[in-house]
């Protein structure tokens, strides 16, 4: 009996020490794609020998963590055709096998279209837009709803259910906040990943994301997903058990705080001492900073972007905290994405008011280091200028001065201007009246670049600093709310703001010069700004759209000398927005009659 017990105990011990694979990242890959690095997570992987059932596939390098919890498996190639293989880990204690699939790639014509100045982008915070599936709200939903930083129940289905609203407004591209699993009581925003390969259960599942993408594409709309290669969340398993000690800059107990001053990165005279905490500090002293200089981390993050793109048929990525990651990583990251998806585009967050700084991160700029490959940064310099002009009574020349620096960018037409986002106070919170928002909308939708609208601005939502700027969208969270998704449920102010932006976006859609035309500033002073968008169209000749804005409290006449300008041969004006007698054209001059706090848009022949 004792001998049987001893044999049984030894068997249990051997089984407990047998290798185990619980998870593989990425969860699948694709045939004829670049060779993947598989990260296997499990137990007792020390000294394991890994093999693949397809004899044509080989593992060129294996790196196992000191505690046997992780194994990096660097394959030499992906198979030429789709197949499901067996991945086996074998040690002297036993073996384990998991299935791994190399799927068929999507047809490149299915999507991956990229965004451009022909589009209008709309930012949706998933948790705060609409609750389309109450089953994923969780058991403490009422308490969460009452918490400004809680999970309120917005999900991917909620967005899909309100595409009619967005299309009626004039939106062509939706940017959604990260869908990663974010296990944390206040991680509703999506920027604290605990699993970069899972959709958080509060938002739905991968099928819901694919359904949203398919619904958008059926309407000829586009999907941009937020991605965060800079950091993970404090609750990510790697923080206390990383695949390798080099995967993070610092540790939970010993790290520096991220520096938000990007100027040293662009200063050829700045020592590394003044730059290091931008790319190696922990954001907000909370979010563990990934070490993209490590080849395995770099490969993991690049594969992650490819995986989401292929799985969800994405058209582009919004990249969070862009300057906090080194340029060399971005160069290889974008080289991979653009080689796989030639039309795919990216926009990066460079939260800075100085165009000499933000422009250095755009593709084609190498004056401060290697080319990042970023299609465009967000246009934070004009964001600050627009707020200064309309909310702080700065002169209109402030905006003209920022536009003068467009020559710092190889492609200023790609820039993404905006009035606000989920990290800023609501524009209307600092405005004197709704009229101020309407004037700002006019500039936003007619200036060069791709305008971005923050969900709720189109219905005059107010709000201060986070979390006051992240209120639930009215109508998205139960029948007791006023339903701003429908005109009958909107207040007069909500309807006025919606109609104003809808009208402007309809004009933008109807006149290609407002989308892709060149821009010429004809006049700027304290209260007025006059500029022209010009586009040569083969079937229509040269189209010229004049925009004039007066933010002053008194009416004014602006006389513009037209010689040696894009309007020197103009003879007639057809007013598209504003008073029909706003513009008079004479040989050598054009006069704009602007009422107080008003704008005019005109088609010039």
Instruction: Give the percent of the chain with pLDDT over 70.
Output: 97
pLDDT of amino acid 478: 83
One domain for residues 186 and 70 = no
Residue bearing the bigger pLDDT, 229 or 3 = 229
What pLDDT does residue 475 have? 96
Domain-terminating residue out of 515, 547, 564 = 515
505 and 529 in a single domain? The answer is: no
CATH number assigned to the domain comprising residue 74: 2.60.40.10
Q: Considering the chain, what percentage of its residues have pLDDT values greater than 90?
A: 94
Does any domain span residue 253?
no
Q: Residue 257's closest CA among 280, 228, 225, 233?
A: 280
pLDDT beyond 80 at 539 = yes
Q: What local confidence, expressed as pLDDT, does residue 480 receive?
A: 59
Q: Is 472 exposed, middle or buried (0-12, 13-18, 19+ CB in 10 A)?
A: buried
Residue 57 to residues 38, 51, 73, 508: CA-CA distances in angstroms? Answer: 13, 9, 12, 52
Query: DSSP characters for 464-477?
Result: -STTTT-PPPTTSS
Q: Is residue 396 part of a domain?
A: yes
User: Quick one: 580 and 443 in the same domain?
Assistant: no
pLDDT category at 11 given cuts 50, 70, 90 is: very low
pLDDT bin (cut points 50, 70, 90) of residue 3 is low
DSSP per-residue codes, 511-525: -THHHH-EEEEEEE-
CA distance 120 to 449: 10
CATH number at residue 526: 2.60.40.1180
Range of the domain at 382: 118-237+294-515
Is residue 283 in some structural domain? no
Handedness of CA 314, 318, 321, 323 (dihedral sign): positive
Please tell me whether residues 507 and 525 are part of one structural domain.
Answer: no
Average pLDDT, the chain: 96
Asked if 389 and 466 sit in the same domain, the reply is yes
Structural domain includes residue 276: no
Whether residues 184 and 233 fall in one domain: yes
Cis peptide preceding 467, ω within 30 of 0: yes
Residues 211 and 306 in one domain: yes
**DSSP code of 368?**
T
Identify whether residues 494 and 547 lie together within a single domain: no
Residue 12 has pLDDT above 60, yes or no: no
Tokens of 206: 């991968």
Same domain flag for 467 and 500: yes
What is the band of 8 on the pLDDT scale with cuts at 50, 70, 90? very low
pLDDT of residue 232: 98
CATH of the domain at 162: 3.20.20.80
User: Looking at the domain assignment, is residue 429 inside a domain?
Assistant: yes
Residue 15, pLDDT score: 53
How many angstroms separate the CA atoms of 26 and 24, rounded? Answer: 6
Q: Which of 16-20, 156-160, 443-447, 564-568 has the lowest mean pLDDT?
A: 16-20
Q: What is the DSSP letter of 482?
A: -
Total number of domains constituting the chain: 3
pLDDT tens for each residue of 46-60: 999 999 999 999 999
- pLDDT tens track for 338-361: 999 999 999 999 999 999 999 999
573 and 424, same structural domain? no
Tens digits of residue pLDDT in 90-131: 999 999 999 999 999 998 777 799 999 999 999 999 999 999
β 94-103/29-30 pair status? parallel
Question: What is the rounded distance in angstroms from the CA atom of residue 397 to the CA atom of residue 529?
Answer: 8
Model confidence at 6, pLDDT cuts 50, 70, 90, reads very low
With bands split at pLDDT 50, 70 and 90, how would you rate the model's confidence at 364?
very high
Whether pTM > 0.75 for this model: the answer is yes
Domain boundary among 71, 105, 139: 105
Per-residue model confidence as pLDDT tens digits over 241-291: 999 999 999 999 999 999 999 999 999 999 999 999 999 999 999 999 999
Residue range 465-480: average pLDDT? 92
Would 287 be classed as within a structural domain?
no
Model pLDDT, residue 481: 65
Helical ranges in 116-230 per DSSP H: 126-129, 141-146, 156-160, 163-169, 206-218
Rg of the chain's alpha carbons, rounded to an integer?
27
Of 488, 515, 542, which closes a domain? Answer: 515
Query: Based on the domain organization, do 457 and 582 belong to the same domain?
Result: no
Statement to judge: residues 449 and 522 lie in one domain? no
- Position 9 scores a pLDDT of 40
- What angle separates helix 295-312 from helix 327-340, to the nearest 10 degrees? 30
Stretch 597-602: mean pLDDT: 98
**Ranges 11-20, 211-220, 492-501: which has the least confidence:** 11-20
**243 within a domain of the structure (yes/no):** no
**For position 542, what pLDDT does the model report?**
93
In the DSSP assignment, the letter for residue 447 is S
Distance of CA 190 to the CA centre of its chain: 12
Cβ count near 1 (within 10 Å): 5
Task: Say if 364 falls within a structural domain.
Answer: yes
pLDDT at 393 over 70: yes
pLDDT recorded at residue 1: 52
Quick one: pLDDT at residue 5? 42
């Amino acid at each position: 009996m004792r001998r049987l017990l001893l044999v049984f105990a030894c068997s249990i011990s051997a089984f407990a020490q047998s290798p185990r694979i619980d998870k593989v990242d990425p969860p699948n890959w694709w045939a004829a794609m670049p060779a993947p690095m598989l990260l296997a997570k499990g137990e007792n992987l020390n000294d394991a020998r890994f093999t693949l059932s397809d004899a044509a596939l080989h593992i060129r390098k294996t790196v196992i963590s000191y505690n046997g919890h992780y194994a990096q498996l660097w394959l030499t190639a992906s198979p030429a055709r789709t197949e499901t293989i067996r991945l086996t880990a074998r040690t002297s204690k036993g073996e384990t096998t998991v299935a791994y699939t190399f799927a068929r790639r999507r047809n490149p014509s299915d999507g991956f279209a990229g965004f451009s100045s022909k589009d209008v982008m709309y930012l949706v915070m998933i948790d705060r837009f609409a609750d389309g599936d109450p089953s994923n709200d969780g058991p403490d939903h009422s308490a969460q709803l009452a918490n400004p930083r809680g999970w309120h129940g917005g999900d991917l289905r909620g967005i899909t259910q309100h595409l009619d609203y967005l299309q009626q407004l004039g939106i062509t591209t939706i940017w959604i906040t990260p869908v990663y699993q974010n296990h944390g009581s206040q991680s509703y925003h999506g920027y604290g990943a605990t699993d970069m390969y899972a959709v958080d259960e509060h938002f739905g599942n991968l099928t819901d994301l694919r359904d949203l993408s398919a619904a958008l594409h059926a309407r000829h709309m586009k999907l941009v997903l937020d991605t965060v290669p800079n950091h993970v969340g404090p609750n990510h398993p790697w923080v206390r058990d990383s695949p390798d000690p080099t995967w993070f800059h610092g540790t939970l107990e010993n790290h520096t705080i991220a520096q938000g001053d990007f100027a040293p990165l662009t200063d050829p005279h700045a020592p590394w001492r003044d730059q290091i905490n931008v790319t190696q500090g922990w954001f907000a002293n909370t979010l563990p900073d990934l070490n993209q200089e490590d080849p395995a981390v770099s490969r993991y993050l690049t594969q992650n972007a490819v995986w989401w793109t292929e799985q969800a048929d994405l058209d582009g990525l919004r990249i969070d905290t862009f300057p906090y990651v080194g340029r060399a990583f971005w160069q290889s990251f974008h080289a991979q994405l653009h080689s796989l998806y030639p039309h795919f585009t990216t926009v990066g967050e460079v939260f800075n008011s100085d165009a000499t700084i933000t422009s250095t991160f755009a593709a084609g700029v190498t004056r401060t280091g290697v080319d990042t490959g970023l299609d465009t940064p967000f246009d934070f310099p004009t964001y600050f200028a627009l707020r200064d002009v309309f909310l702080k009574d700065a002169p209109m020349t402030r905006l003209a001065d920022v536009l003068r620096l467009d020559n710092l960018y190889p492609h200023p037409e790609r820039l993404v201007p905006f009035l606000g986002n989920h990290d800023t106070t609501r524009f209307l919170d600092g405005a004197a009246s709704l009229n101020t928002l309407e004037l700002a909308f006019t500039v936003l939708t007619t200036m060069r670049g791709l305008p971005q609208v923050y969900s709720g601005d189109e219905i005059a939502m107010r709000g201060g600093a986070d979390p006051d700027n992240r209120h639930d969208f009215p109508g998205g969270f139960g029948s007791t709310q006023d339903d701003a998704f429908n005109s009958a449920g909107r207040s007069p102010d909500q309807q006025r703001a919606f109609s104003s932006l809808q009208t402007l976006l309809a004009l933008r859609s109807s006149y290609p010069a407002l989308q892709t035309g060149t821009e010429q500033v004809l006049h700027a002073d304290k209260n007025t700004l006059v500029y022209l968008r010009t586009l040569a169209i083969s079937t229509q000749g040269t189209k010229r759209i004049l925009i004039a804005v007066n933010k002053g409290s008194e009416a004014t006449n602006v006389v513009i000398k037209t010689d040696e300008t894009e309007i020197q041969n103009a003879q007639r004006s057809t007013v598209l927005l504003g008073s029909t007698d706003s513009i008079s054209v004479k040989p050598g001059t054009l006069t704009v009659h602007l009422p107080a706090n008003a704008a005019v848009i005109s088609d010039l022949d």
